[in-house]
Chain A
Amino acid sequence: MSAPLLWIIFPLVVSAVLWFLKERRQLVILLSAGLCLFLAFLAWRVPIDSLITMGPISFNISSTLSFLGRSFILASNNSAFLILIYLIGAFWLIGASVADVPNTFAPLGLALISLLVAALAVQPFLYAALLIEVAVLLSIPMLVPLGETAGQGVIRYLIFQTLALPFILLAGWAAAGVEANPTDQRLLIQAVVLLGLGFTFWLAVFPFYAWVPLLAGEAHPYVAGFVLSLLPTVVLLLMLDFLNAFAWLRAYPLLPEVLQLVGSLMVITGGIWSAFQWDLSRLFGYAVIIESGFSLLALSLGNQAGLQVFAASFLPRMLALGLWALSLSIIGKQGSANFNSLEGLLHRQPFTAVGFLLAYFSLGGLPLLAGFPMREILLEGVAQKNLMVAFWTLLGSIGFLASGFRILAVLAKSSEKTWQIQEKWMQIVLLTGGGLALFLVGIYPRIFLSGVLNLLRAFQRLV
């Protein structure tokens, strides 16, 4: 048996089987979430490339699966990534049970996760672009369920993600040329530019991010949240993989400056636009943009602290985005996510409103919440390199937070004297659990975030 067979092919096959059972939505969601938890547990407990003895039986899980002359490799140093990605999958799938998602969500979501794992496992890297494109195409039926018309956000998402494919494939060709002839400056510039453009489209980097808030505003909030949180996470890890693999890319003198400029522009513009936004779903899109910007800023530091912030930010980000998407799904059942229709929500759906606010302020970097510790370290690091960039980035964060306080005022404004609890008990359990997790990670960051740092073991040339 091989690790790619277990963590890529097996969930892919299960997702295909679950597709035919999709009418039994709750069962399919539970099975998918259970499988993700099981695979995360296996990634934690089962060693790869070592002999495993269970009584009289002994076997070995090899790290490599060969396919048409190419390899999928999941070595022991990828365990942390496998745990993270399948825990993220389980987290989103468990929440889906109360989020009223379309029937296609669980089977396609599981297939999406296994394809993205395949994208990180495939060698040579350039094949990752093809696998990510397949994942993007597969996500379209999730985002546009039968009976609905595709909006501009979905269409633009499809266009921009597809445009990344040629650039990454051409970058792969140019990169092979640079490896063969490292002194060829023309080829080096060509490879860096092509790679940069590919990642720009994938990560919805400034100025190609207009589709993100549009998509978040059009699609089911939970489905959009799943796609918009999973895809950038994998693309960011892929970016780290590229940096780890190519010495010429790591040594490229302009890389830190470009990452810093692009990252700070995303945070600043995202923060400013969000201050003028009146729709909670679209605000989610801006939150995703700002988070991608902070990740690029962390990479721009080019040191150990930056890498640790980059890796450790995944957990609080995922918790907050998940809680936000779940709250939006519950709000969406009652009506629009526009500010005007949310007055007094705190009195009608207190758990949803508080869950949403905690998620929002955690992403905004408010003290005591999960997002704060990493944000503080990151801003300190950026300030040591360039005070102006730190100032503007802080300004972007303030813009985002200002919108949060505006939302707080709207949600709390009510003429009703009585309080109601309109949420179902399972929704209350998940919302409360998510909110508490944000507090716990914020108060005890060392305990919860140190495990995520194992992600960096897969990128040994960077550490």
Chain B
Amino acid sequence: MIFQRFDVIPVILLMGTSLSLLISQRWRYTLISLAVQYLAVFWLVALVWPLGLAAIKLVVGLMAGALVGSLQPPDEIVEEKNAGISGGIFRSLAASLIWLAVFSIAPGLLNWVPTQPVILWGGLILIGMGLLQLGMTTRPLRIIVGLLTVISGFEILYASLESSLLVAGLLAMINLGIGLTGAYLLAGPTMKDAA
């Protein structure tokens, strides 16, 4: 199958999209990166799940991204601190440290988590980059993107351990819930309670 033959491509895609999510200062690029990231997540999950079930990850991810993106929040993505070139370089260096750590610890972790190396790489990269995102920002949009990234990474790993339909459904619900929460946190301040 084509997915198995080119199974390193999604890992490379995940490295690129997660870096883009970390350094991007424009919400359009952020949403495009998020969409591509979910495509790569789908690719990796499809290595261990049936295609139809793996497609849930893609559809739900795109929907969660669309929920956040529907508000088109241009100011919400711009970091107040470390926004310039130096900030971008700093974030890129931090990201490269995460990648280095992932590729160093992955062989050891394969003894603990019985799965394919590419799945472990992809999952750990997203978890690491998501945590980095969460640790470097106070912006709600970036926080939501960080949480979606961490959960996506976990979903890649978990897919190789558990293939329950109910878990897949509930995780999809949580992804959508995080997207909705993000939309609420972004739109809420400008809205007024009816009462």
Contact = CB atoms under 8 A, between A and B. Distances in A.
A164 to B, nearest CB: 11
A147 B154 CA distance: 33
26 contacts: A68-B165, A68-B166, A69-B166, A103-B193, A103-B194, A127-B170, A133-B177, A134-B174, A137-B177, A137-B181, A140-B185, A144-B188, A146-B188, A146-B192, A147-B192, A147-B193, A150-B188, A158-B147, A158-B181, A159-B146, A162-B147, A162-B151, A165-B151, A166-B150, A170-B158, A170-B161
Interface in B147-186: 147, 150-151, 154, 157-158, 161-162, 165-167, 169-171, 173-174, 177-178, 180-181, 184-185
A146 B193 contact: yes
A165 B140 CA distance: 20
Decide if the interface of chain B is mainly helix, strand, loop or mixed.
helix
A338 interface: no
A76 to B, nearest CB: 26
Contact of B143 (A102, A159, A173): A159
Contact of A173 (B127, B146, B162, B185): B162
Interface of B: 111-112, 127, 134, 138, 140, 143, 146-147, 150-151, 154, 157-158, 161-162, 165-167, 169-171, 173-174, 177-178, 180-181, 184-185, 188-189, 191-195
A45 interface: no
Nearest to A160: B134
B58 to A, nearest CB: 20
Interface string A57-70: 00000000001111
Contact of B151 (A25, A166, A190): A166
Interface centre among A144, A152, A155 (most CB of B within 10 A): A155
Nearest to B185: A150
B48 to A, nearest CB: 14
B112 A148 contact: no
Nearest to A68: B166
Nearest to A130: B170
A333 interface: no
A149 B174 contact: no
A163 B189 contact: no
Given A140-B185, A162-B178, A186-B112, A147 B151 contact: no
B178 A137 contact: yes
B188 A148 contact: yes
B188 A169 contact: no
A137 B161 CA distance: 26
A256 interface: no
Contacts of B138: 152, 155
A134 B171 CA distance: 10
Nearest to A150: B185
B188 A147 contact: yes
Given A140-B185, A166-B150, A130 B174 contact: yes
Q: Which 7 A-B pairs have the closest CB atoms?
A: A166-B154, A130-B170, A137-B177, A146-B193, A149-B189, A68-B166, A146-B191
Query: What class of interface size applies to chain A in its complex with B?
Result: 35 or more
Nearest to A167: B154
A148 B138 CA distance: 16
Contacts of B194: 23, 103
Interface in A115-170: 127, 130-131, 133-134, 137, 140-141, 144-150, 152, 155, 158-159, 162-163, 165-166, 169-170
Nearest to A22: B195
A133 B146 CA distance: 16
B164 to A, nearest CB: 8
Contacts of A131: 170
Nearest to A144: B188
A70 B143 contact: no
A134 B185 CA distance: 16
Nearest to A137: B177
B134 to A, nearest CB: 6
A18 to B, nearest CB: 14
B184 A140 contact: yes
Contacts of A165: 151, 154, 174
Contact of A70 (B146, B147, B166, B184): B166
Contacts of B192: 146-147
B134 A159 contact: yes
A102 B111 CA distance: 51
Contacts of B195: 22-23, 25, 103
A221 B97 CA distance: 41
Contacts of B146: 159
B45 to A, nearest CB: 15
Nearest to A126: B167
B161 A173 contact: yes
Given A134-B173, A145-B193, A162-B178, 4 more contacts: A67-B166, A149-B188, A158-B147, A162-B147
A126 to B, nearest CB: 8
A152 to B, nearest CB: 6
A167 to B, nearest CB: 9
A144 B158 CA distance: 32
Nearest to A103: B195
Contacts of A141: 184, 188
A133 B143 contact: no
B160 to A, nearest CB: 10
A67 B158 CA distance: 22
A137 B148 CA distance: 13
Contacts of B184: 140-141, 144
Contacts of A70: 166
A266 B76 CA distance: 35
A133 B167 CA distance: 13
Nearest to B148: A162
Contact of B181 (A140, A148, A163, A169): A140
B174 A158 contact: no
A170 B167 CA distance: 12
Contacts of A140: 181, 184-185
Contacts of B191: 146-147
B120 to A, nearest CB: 13
